Structure 1
Amino acid sequence: MTARSSALPSRFAGLSIKLIATISAVILLVEVVVYLPSLATYRANWLDDRLRVGVVGARVLDAVPDVMALPRNLTDRLLTSAGAYAIVYRREGQSQLIELANPVTPETVVTADMRQRDLPTLIMGALDTMLAGPGRTLRIVGPGDLDQTMVELLMPERPLRQEMFDYSRQVVILSLVLAILTAMALYLLASYLFIHPVRRLTENMLAFRQAPENGSLIITPSARRDEIGIAERELAAMEQDIFTLLRQRRHLADLGLAVAKINHDLRNTLTSAQLLSDQVATLDDPKVQRLAPRLVTTLDRAIGFAQSVLDYGRETSVPPVLAPTPIRPLVDEAAFDARLSGHPAITFSNAIPDTLVLSVDSGQLGRVLLNLLKNAREALEAAGAKVSDPTVTLSQVTGDQGITLSVADNGPGLPPRARDNLFVAFEGSARAGGTGLGLAIAREIAEAHGGHLSFVDQPVGTRFDLFLPRSLLVKN
Structure 2
Amino acid sequence: MTAERRVLPKWFSGLSIKLIATITMVILVVTIVVYLPSLANFRSSWLDDRLRVGVVAARVLDAVPDVMALPRNLTDRLLTSAGANAIVYRREGQSQLIELANPVTPDVVVTADMRQRDLPTLIVGAIDTLFAGPGRTLRIVGEGDLDESLVELLMPERPLRQDMWVYSRDIFLASLVIAAISALALYLLVSRLFIHPVRRLTANMLAFRQEPENASLIIAPSPRRDEIGIVERELAAMESDLFSMLRQRRHLADLGLAVAKINHDLRNTLTSAQLLSDQVATLDDPKVQRLAPRLVTTLDRAIGFAQSVLDYGRETAAPPVMAPVTLRALIEDAAFDARLVGHPSISFRNGIPDDLILNVDAGQFARVLLNLLKNAREALESVRADSPPKEISVSQIDSSDEIVLAFVDNGPGLPQRARDNLFVAFEGSARAGGTGLGLAIAREITEAHGGRLILVDQPVGTRFDIILPKTLRVS
TM bucket (normalised to shorter chain) is: 0.5 to 0.7
Q: Find out whether 1:27 has 2:27 as its counterpart.
A: yes
Q: Find out whether 1:242 has 2:224 as its counterpart.
A: no
Runs of 4+ in 1 over 6 A off after TM superposition: 264-269
1:52 alignment partner in structure 2: 52
1:220 alignment partner in structure 2: 220
2:260 and 2:204 map into 1 onto residues whose CA distance is 38
Pairwise CA distance, 1:259: 2.1
1:170 alignment partner in structure 2: 170
1:142 and 1:205 map into 2 onto residues whose CA distance is 71
CA-to-partner distance for each residue in 1:10-52, whole Å, 9 max, x for gaps?
1111110000000001111111111111111110110011011
1:309 alignment partner in structure 2: none
2:191 and 2:267 map into 1 onto residues whose CA distance is 65
1:71 and 1:251 map into 2 onto residues whose CA distance is 113
Partner SS, residue 102 of structure 1:
coil
1:3 and 1:120 map into 2 onto residues whose CA distance is 62
1:18 and 1:41 map into 2 onto residues whose CA distance is 35
1:3 alignment partner in structure 2: 3
1:100 and 1:260 map into 2 onto residues whose CA distance is 118
Alignment: residue pair count? 270
Pairwise CA distance, 1:267: 10
Partner SS, residue 153 of structure 2:
strand
Alignment of 1:256-267 (within 5 A): 256-263=256-263
With normalisation by structure 1, the TM-score equals: 0.55
CA-to-partner distance for each residue in 1:62-117, whole Å, 9 max, x for gaps?
11111121111111111100000010010111111111111121111111111111
Classify 1:89/1:264 alpha carbon distance in 2 versus 1 (closer, same or farther; 3 Å).
farther
1:58 and 1:201 map into 2 onto residues whose CA distance is 75
Structure 2: gaps of 5 or more residues: 270-475
1:105 and 1:174 map into 2 onto residues whose CA distance is 40
CA-to-partner distance for each residue in 1:217-266, whole Å, 9 max, x for gaps?
11111111111111111111111111111111112222222224335778
1:190 and 1:238 map into 2 onto residues whose CA distance is 27
Classify 1:213/1:93 alpha carbon distance in 2 versus 1 (closer, same or farther; 3 Å).
same
Pairwise CA distance, 1:133: 1.2
Pairwise CA distance, 1:2: 3.5
Q: Find out whether 1:93 has 2:101 as its counterpart.
A: no
2:267 and 2:11 map into 1 onto residues whose CA distance is 62
Q: Find out whether 1:251 has 2:251 as its counterpart.
A: yes
1:264 and 1:195 map into 2 onto residues whose CA distance is 59
CA-to-partner distance for each residue in 1:336-366, whole Å, 9 max, x for gaps?
xxxxxxxxxxxxxxxxxxxxxxxxxxxxxxx
2:214 and 2:34 map into 1 onto residues whose CA distance is 56
1:424 alignment partner in structure 2: none
Classify 1:89/1:214 alpha carbon distance in 2 versus 1 (closer, same or farther; 3 Å).
same
2:45 and 2:98 map into 1 onto residues whose CA distance is 23
1:128 alignment partner in structure 2: 128
CA-to-partner distance for each residue in 1:420-467, whole Å, 9 max, x for gaps?
xxxxxxxxxxxxxxxxxxxxxxxxxxxxxxxxxxxxxxxxxxxxxxxx
Partner SS, residue 61 of structure 1:
helix
Classify 1:31/1:199 alpha carbon distance in 2 versus 1 (closer, same or farther; 3 Å).
same
1:200 alignment partner in structure 2: 200
Query: Letter of the aligned partner of 2:169 in structure 1?
Result: R
Q: Which has the higher contact order (CA 8 A, sep 6+)?
A: 2
2:263 and 2:178 map into 1 onto residues whose CA distance is 77
Identity of aligned residues (%): 80
2:186 and 2:39 map into 1 onto residues whose CA distance is 28
With normalisation by structure 2, the TM-score equals: 0.55
Query: Letter of the aligned partner of 1:121 in structure 2?
Result: T
Structure 1: gaps of 5 or more residues: 270-476
